[in-house]
Amino acid sequence: MSVRRFSILAATLLAIAGGVGPASSQDAGSLKKEMIGQWELATTERSKTCVVTLKGDGTAQGLKLELEPSCPAALPFTKDITAWNIKGLDIVRLQNAAGEPVIDFTEVESGIFEGHRTGEGVYILQNLAAARSLAKSMDQMIGDWSMVRGNGQAICGLTLTNTEAGQDNFQVFLKPKCDPAVTAFAPTVWRLDHGQMLLMSEKGETWQFEADDNAQWRKVPDTADPLIMLRDQ
């Protein structure tokens, strides 16, 4: 579920969870204070995660932190991390015993930090409560859905899976006997993006759905004959 692209949803969940993730940091001192707490260090699709607790106590090389015991198995480079620090005005550095950077993070969205390791790729640092709430929301999306018209007529059944399909997408499967319009669209992957559910086809076409007040997802922009996604009971 790529975390970094779920800005609106993640920010909402962060507020609900009472998270401490920073908005736009004004200076290194305020960023340091805002970073103290528990964070999730993860690959972009969250297939490998590690909980990091950033503390305000100083060490010879930086500031103290704790990594959960499973971190080195999930993310091998974390075995070299012994402290953290703020560099410049906006860089959150996880560093080794010599004070050298293991990975540097910069804030790319509210409460979401992105770092890169050469030869490995991008990693995400996000407030732990928000990350877990987001994962729960993603888990709630997995399963069977019905696409219906505004009059309640079902026109297609779909199954959203958590099977990774690259580029932060997950596989989706159509059930038999779908409406020709849906069959022609032929979505193969889905994801949550900025609070929207996206269905995408191999042809590059995308249908966007937004949650409404009735806990259902409506295709946008809205039309006189809307398409609605309903979770099967």
Contacts of 73 (CB under 8 A, 6+ apart): none
What's the rounded Cα separation, in Å, for the pair 232 and 229? 9
When pLDDT is cut at 50, 70 and 90, the band that residue 138 belongs to is confident
Q: What dotted CATH number matches 142-231?
A: 2.40.128.10
Condensed to tens digits (0 to 9), the pLDDT of residues 35-44 reads 999 999 998 8
Listed ranges 72-86, 116-130, 183-197; the one with the highest mean pLDDT: 72-86
Query: Inter-axis angle of helices 128-141 and 7-17, to 10 degrees?
Result: 120
Domain 3-134 has CATH 2.40.128.10: yes
Q: 18-37, pLDDT tens digit by residue?
A: 334 443 445 777 888 899 99
Report the SS3 class of residue 197.
strand
Give span(s): CATH 2.40.128.10, the chain.
3-134, 142-231
